[in-house]
Chain A
Amino acid sequence: MRSHRLPVLVAAGALALGVAACGDEEKDSGSGSSGGTKLSGKIAIDGSSTVFPFAQAAAEQFQAENPDVQITVGQSGTGGGFEKFCAGETDVSDASRPIKDDEEVPICKKEGVAYSEVQIGNDGIAVTTNKQLPIKCMTTDQLKQLWEKGSKVKAYNEIDPQFPKEQVSLFGPGTDSGTFDFFTEEINGEEGNTRKDYQPSEDDNVLVQGVSGDKGGLGYFGFSYFEQNQDKLGLVSVDSGGGCIAPSKETIQNGTYKPLSRPLFMYPSAKSIKRPEVKAFMDFLLEKQAEIAEAAQIVPMTPEQLTKARAALKQAETAQ
């Protein structure tokens, strides 16, 4: 999930700053987006660990252009992020689901924190198999049988006689990952509910090696990582009652790839968005959302989603 390009960008930014500091003639070191006035200040971001790579990538790119703005990005989880956000401790909250009307909205209201919901991208999980394993589609129930806590499924034909009699060899992300939380919640019905005898790794590359190396290999991870390795892997379509749908950019963006796709959000508070550095940062990340999404390995927004996100951001500026 982590991009290796980011340190380079930061280094390039630091270098640009150094060069600018040396030349006396050049007064304006910002490269355009700050519009001549130098931005400074601190932005505190916290929330979903799924949005974290996106927020982190956006922060690093933004700081490369605006070195005086300090951005801290935490990953307390969506719930933990809202807790801090509603207490007024953070400027922007990352979320992998909308804010909860019955639990979180009242707290924010009570503390007088106004906000708006800005979509920043789409998340999708791909269920992948070894290329030699002829499983093209699974229902959510079959996925649950395979992955739920205490599952004793040893060969695929135990789930469906149509499936090959191949030993299962399962791979998935570790328990720290947002992908793990999302998959277990959607498929097994409860966050953290999973069989334990699978091989977990926080390193997606290890998962690809495992799935592509074992004949009975099956694993799940972020769709973008599948895209980069599609020559080595088979893809399983998911049937949640309405027929088999394969994950793709389009089906993840429009939500038809159910239930393993979802929009990702950032919530700026109305008070913070009035600060020029926060506004500039949010504008910046919407401007470059496609590029940042690629670096953070999430699915970017469609033009329509982007228009809506821009409108939501405008609304935050006028909210009280």
Chain B
Amino acid sequence: MSAESVPTQTTPGAPAPGVASILRRGPRYGELIIRTVLFLAALLSVLTTVGIVASLLEGTLEFFGEVGVGEFLTGTEWSPSFTDPQFGVLPLVGGTLLITAIALIVAVPLGIGSAIYLSEYARPRTRKIFKPILELLAGIPTIVFGYFALTFFTPLVLRDLLGMEVQIFNALSAGIIMGFMVLPTIASVSEDAMSAVPGSLREGAFGLGASKRQVSTRVVVPAALSGIAAAVILGISRAIGETMIVLVAAGLQPNLGVDPREAFETMTAFIAAQGKGDVPTGSIEYKTIFAVGTTLFLMTLAMNALSIRFVRKYRQVYE
């Protein structure tokens, strides 16, 4: 794509007739307009982010005017709407982390496995068919996943097929199905990272007598590690922020336990359920929405920051 590769007939220093108009002096209004429009587009997205953070902060600060930060972060009971309200966010954070962990146990091996298959083993034609289908999975609305978990996966697979004693709303079903929702994200981004590993590395390894498995696991995966890590962290962010699956299938019971057969409430499900109810604006129950929202935002932000650091630290640059 560089300028050198374009065959040119003219000698340097003597511009071709067509180039003259580009080099003409004077203000270029078209350029100015395009620049302004593009700048505004970038500015708008930045302003949106700033606006969201500002609106979150306002409610959050009001919330912490009434409830101590220590009580919020270390309390073990969450019951903001009851007559003796308790504002310990730990059960919600615990529920979110538990379900996210279950989702990752499903999504990481399957996602990276399918990425390795698509990038290293699959014939080009198979890959051409498989990859779009995998990405189609990412296009399924999450509410559909939610009802799939509640009306199919919990009663038929977990209870009837596996004989497990699970509650109708439970973390296990929501987590596993969420894993399938996150899977295409992890698979697709990791596959991109593996495909970007230069062919010469593979050829070198094959030349030294390595088997296909050795090339995949000892050359390609380590070389693409920063991309794979970024894919996993992206998947974690999606899982933490996912709302519909947990709202529908995981229940609305704040629970600090670790038994995935029980019902849990996540931060996102709490926000959705609380926002849907008839909480009066300005009440403390209403402000909890912002406090939990900020907590969620900070967690995802930390994940994204971690992802950027990971990519920078482990990126291997070839050629």
Binding site for B on A (CB under 8 A): 49, 75, 169, 174-177, 192-194, 196-203, 206, 209-210, 213-214, 217
B251 pairs with A199, CB closer than 8 A: yes
Contact (Cβ within 8 A) B273 A202: yes
Q: Are A214 and B276 in contact (CB under 8 A)?
A: no
Q: Please judge, given known A-B contacts A209-B168, A214-B167, A217-B168, whether A176 and B81 are in contact too, CB under 8 Å.
A: yes
Q: Is B83 an interface residue (CB 8 A)?
A: yes
For B278, the closest partner residue in chain A by CB is A176
Min CB gap A315→B, angstroms: 33
A213 contacts B276, C-beta separation under 8 Å: no
24 A/B residue pairs, CB under 8 Å, sorted by A: A49-B278, A174-B81, A174-B277, A176-B277, A176-B278, A177-B278, A192-B83, A194-B82, A196-B77, A196-B82, A198-B253, A199-B251, A199-B253, A200-B81, A200-B252, A201-B252, A202-B277, A203-B276, A206-B252, A209-B150, A209-B168, A210-B168, A214-B167, A214-B168
Q: Which residues of chain A are near B279, meaning CB under 8 Å? A: 176
The listed residue (A176, A177, A197, A213) touching B155 by CB distance below 8 A is: A213
**Bound Cα distance from A192 to B82, whole angstroms:** 7
B153 at the interface (CB under 8 A from A): no
Contact in complex: A175, B81 (CB < 8 Å): yes
Excluding A49-B278, A176-B81, 7 further A-B contacts by CB distance (< 8 Å) are: A75-B278, A169-B167, A199-B253, A201-B273, A210-B169, A210-B251, A213-B167
Q: With an 8 A cutoff between CB atoms, is B79 at the interface?
A: yes
State in angstroms the CA–CA spacing of A197 and B253 once bound together.
7
CB neighbours of A175 from chain B (8 A): 81-82
**Structural contact, B150 and A199, CB atoms closer than 8 A:** no
Q: Are B277 and A196 in contact (CB under 8 A)?
A: no
Q: Which residues of A contact B263 (CB under 8 A)?
A: 199
Residues of B close to A169: CB separation below 8 A: 167-168
Query: From residue B121, how far is it (CB to closest CB) to chain A in Å?
Result: 42
A206 to B155, CA, bound (A): 16
Q: Digit string of B226-260 for contact with A (CB within 8 Å is 1, else 0)?
A: 00000000000000000000000001110000000
Q: From A169, which residue of chain B is reached at the shortest CB distance?
A: B167
A198 to B252: give the CA distance in the assembly, Å.
Answer: 9
Chain A residues with Cβ below 8 Å from B82 are 175, 192, 194, 196
